[in-house]
Structure 1
Amino acid sequence: MMTIDMQIEDVNVRSTEVLITPAALKAEMPLSDTARASVIEGRQTIRNILDGKDHRLFLVVGPCSIHDVNAAKEYAQRLKVLAEQVKDSLYLVMRVYFEKPRTTVGWKGLINDPDMNDSFDIQKGLHIGRRLLLDLNEMGLACATEALDPMSPQYMHDLIAWSAIGARTTESQTHREMSSGLSSPVGFKNGTDGGLKVAINALLSVRNPHSFLGINGAGQVAIINTNGNAYGHVVLRGGDGKPNYDSVSVTLAEKELSKAKVPSNIMIDCSHANSNKDPALQPLVMDNVSNQILEGNQSIVGLMIESHLKFGRQDIPADLSQLEYGKSVTDGCIDWSTTEEAILKMHHKLNDILPKRRQTV
């Protein structure tokens, strides 16, 4: 006789755990006046750049992912000093990525697995992540992240000045709907194949109101009704091993954006396929972008740079005491001295030309 499995729900669910609510986490770690001012200034500065009211470029700079809070704070202190040096031409925003998308499996980031041992203490990860964002904003440093899990913005987004939607999720209806309600400007990367169509469709979608299922501050399942986000823009990151930061690719992107009747605001991701996954090539991408602007480009508004205290990347060892301080555990990064040199070079090349470049519209 055939045995019938009577269980029809949660067949593959091992366990569930009730998580702290967004409201409770924010009550434990409230937004200070200093941090609030930093977030407001960061968002408004980026909006002004996208609107052509601020002549500067904004650069999202920092580690591929955050795994060590102490190293992140040291990096932030250095970035803050550099930001002051280049503030006339470049607005520096720290890349603070807590969530990492995976093609198959792998470490999913500090929020998901803060102890880096597959213990998945998300409760701990949320506390660590929010504390770090508070500390960085209180330093006066605007922060950027990737909006990957649709629940995370309820916990963290009041501390974010700019958000990215990655190449794997730009085509996702869930992420387009979520982005339509984000309070920050948001950059949509082109698809992993290098094509622009999914990103342009995302830009058209995100500008419109949406209604979808989500959670509210009390952690209740809710219908979220959004107004639409007018500050979506495209991020060129290359694809299928081919770059798309060159002047021809940028011109083609401008034409596609114009055809779709969305603003021709383009951000260049200096990493990923644009550097052939070799972090050492990122400064060459930066220099190429500077030259395009010197030659008359009007559409490039920002760059993304993967950078850490030390060059390269490392695997996560079984013995975490063997981790090398200040080195990425995900994508390879350029080191601090290279970062500083490349950003200062861009500043010196563009400082005189940028004020004459984009006019208020």
Structure 2
Amino acid sequence: MEQLHDLRVSRIKRLSSPGALKDKLPVNDRIASTVSSGRREVENILNGTDNRLLVIVGPCSIHNVDAALVYAEKLSGMRSELRSELCILMRVYFEKPRTTVGWKGFINDPHLDDSYDIEHGLYYARKLLIDINALGLPAATEFLDPITPQYVADVVSWAAIGARTIESQTHRQMASGLSMPVGFKNSTDGRINVAVDAIRSAMHPHSFLGIDREGHSSVITTKGNPYGHLVLRGGMTPNYDAQSIAAAEQLLEKAGLSQTLLVDCSHANSGKKHAQQLKVWENILEQKARGNRSIAGVMIESNLCSGNQPFPEDPEKLRYGVSITDECISWEETERMLRQGADVIAKLMSKEA
């Protein structure tokens, strides 16, 4: 009989099940406490019972787990120092959506050599998340592949659905079952209505195909996620200014949703130039100082060193602590920005007291 399937598939390699990986890298009480408290803090900020500013900050993408842990140790200290004014989570992104082709992230290609050792990528992604949470620092990530959450979602306190997947039914269904708050980014061309639709969809129960702890194909039935929210990341033009914020508030209100949102200081809002993130940050702080209540938090792309570097054929040539995807601000600039933000929020808190 003529072959009818797998005509364009060159290889199928079975992975360890989510349960098997979790047994190898279990969560202890301390880590569970960090994850759950991080989720509660974000939920309270979103529902207005916590008036701190949520700050999700860290590398555009993880490609060196050792450097990421050094960054996490530094950020953990800032989280403790500024905890009265800021709720700091580390951006820990392992999956990178691509408009055409390119490096798809640490989970997909951890060795940076097109070997696609996903087993290794999943293991060390989970291990890094556990190590970061062990510092008392909650983690945030974007979920791109709908199977990935089964392996790592239990050690994540905030998740994003990105601009390139915001209209995907698969991702909206996935978000409806995630155990943490989920931020929905506006589309790459700047449309906010698609993110609003996604938030509404994820609030409702869904049933869909997925895998269980043992890796078996299953029907997943969800309860719906009440903590979906908008993330403004810019589009054809930036959308962090007061006029754009007001327009987003109106769309959310019209949809019957909470007028609570986050602003991404990077991506299209900064023109992907790391130095421009400061401009966005200062504008948001100014809006907060003038009384804005809808902006609950921000996202910042930051690394040990500033800028980015082209991804060479030889990974050994990479400079330590420098992004291989989007430009990031340096650690020194990150410290200054976080302290600046804490000062602004402290003054606001004193006025409201």
Class of the TM-score when normalised by the shorter of the 2 chains: over 0.9
Match of 2:206 in 1: 210
Given that 1:66 and 1:72 are in contact with CA atoms closer than 8 Å, whether structure 2 keeps it comes out as: yes
One of 260, 263, 274 as aligned partner of 2:269: 274
Q: TM-score, normalised on structure 1?
A: 0.96
CA distance in 2 between counterparts of 1:348 and 1:216 reads 46
Given that 1:165 and 1:175 are in contact with CA atoms closer than 8 Å, whether structure 2 keeps it comes out as: yes
Given that 2:172 and 2:202 are in contact with CA atoms closer than 8 Å, whether structure 1 keeps it comes out as: yes
CA distance in 1 between counterparts of 2:4 and 2:259 reads 51
Task: Say whether residues 1:232 and 2:228 are aligned partners.
Answer: yes
Q: TM-score, normalised on structure 2?
A: 0.98
Task: Name the amino acid aligned to 2:211.
Answer: I
Per-residue CA deviations over 1:117-164 (Å, capped at 9, x if unaligned) read: 000000010111011011000110000000100000000000000000
Task: Say whether residues 1:247 and 2:242 are aligned partners.
Answer: yes
Given that 1:55 and 1:355 are in contact with CA atoms closer than 8 Å, whether structure 2 keeps it comes out as: no
Match of 1:297 in 2: 292
CA distance in 2 between counterparts of 1:122 and 1:81 reads 32
CA distance in 2 between counterparts of 1:37 and 1:68 reads 26
One of 319, 335, 347 as aligned partner of 2:330: 335
SS in 2 for 1:129: helix
Task: Name the amino acid aligned to 1:119.
Answer: S
Given that 2:260 and 2:294 are in contact with CA atoms closer than 8 Å, whether structure 1 keeps it comes out as: yes
SS in 2 for 1:10: coil
CA distance in 2 between counterparts of 1:233 and 1:88 reads 23
CA distance in 2 between counterparts of 1:128 and 1:135 reads 10
1:113-262 paired onto structure 2 within 5 Å: 113-240=109-236, 242-262=237-257
SS in 2 for 1:224: strand
Match of 2:347 in 1: 352
CA distance in 2 between counterparts of 1:312 and 1:352 reads 32
Match of 1:318 in 2: 313
Per-residue CA deviations over 1:284-337 (Å, capped at 9, x if unaligned) read: 111100100111101000100000001111122222211100000000100011
CA distance in 2 between counterparts of 1:306 and 1:10 reads 40
SS in 2 for 1:303: strand
Task: Say whether residues 1:99 and 2:95 are aligned partners.
Answer: yes
Q: What is the deviation of 1:354?
A: 3.8
Given that 1:75 and 1:308 are in contact with CA atoms closer than 8 Å, whether structure 2 keeps it comes out as: yes
SS in 2 for 1:20: coil
- What is the aligned residue count? 353
Q: What is the deviation of 1:57?
A: 1.1
Per-residue CA deviations over 1:151-205 (Å, capped at 9, x if unaligned) read: 0000000000000000000110000000000000000000111111100000110
- Structure 2: any 5+ residue segments left out of the alignment? none
Given that 1:56 and 1:355 are in contact with CA atoms closer than 8 Å, whether structure 2 keeps it comes out as: no
Task: Say whether residues 1:74 and 2:70 are aligned partners.
Answer: yes
Given that 2:249 and 2:294 are in contact with CA atoms closer than 8 Å, whether structure 1 keeps it comes out as: yes
CA distance in 2 between counterparts of 1:131 and 1:49 reads 28
Given that 1:86 and 1:347 are in contact with CA atoms closer than 8 Å, whether structure 2 keeps it comes out as: yes
Task: Name the amino acid aligned to 1:203.
Answer: I
SS in 1 for 2:347: coil
SS in 1 for 2:90: strand
SS in 2 for 1:352: helix
CA distance in 2 between counterparts of 1:318 and 1:258 reads 49
One of 13, 26, 36 as aligned partner of 2:32: 36
Per-residue CA deviations over 1:220-249 (Å, capped at 9, x if unaligned) read: 000000000000000000002x10000000
1:12-27 paired onto structure 2 within 5 Å: 12-27=8-23
Q: What is the deviation of 1:352?
A: 2.2
Q: What is the deviation of 1:355?
A: 6.3
Given that 1:212 and 1:225 are in contact with CA atoms closer than 8 Å, whether structure 2 keeps it comes out as: yes
Task: Name the amino acid aligned to 1:161.
Answer: S
Given that 2:18 and 2:150 are in contact with CA atoms closer than 8 Å, whether structure 1 keeps it comes out as: yes
Given that 2:53 and 2:345 are in contact with CA atoms closer than 8 Å, whether structure 1 keeps it comes out as: no
Match of 2:259 in 1: 264
CA distance in 1 between counterparts of 2:16 and 2:46 reads 36
Task: Name the amino acid aligned to 2:305.
Answer: K
Q: Give percent identity, aligned residues only.
A: 50
CA distance in 1 between counterparts of 2:27 and 2:341 reads 34
Match of 1:59 in 2: 55
CA distance in 1 between counterparts of 2:5 and 2:350 reads 61
SS in 2 for 1:180: helix
Moved over 6 A (4+): none
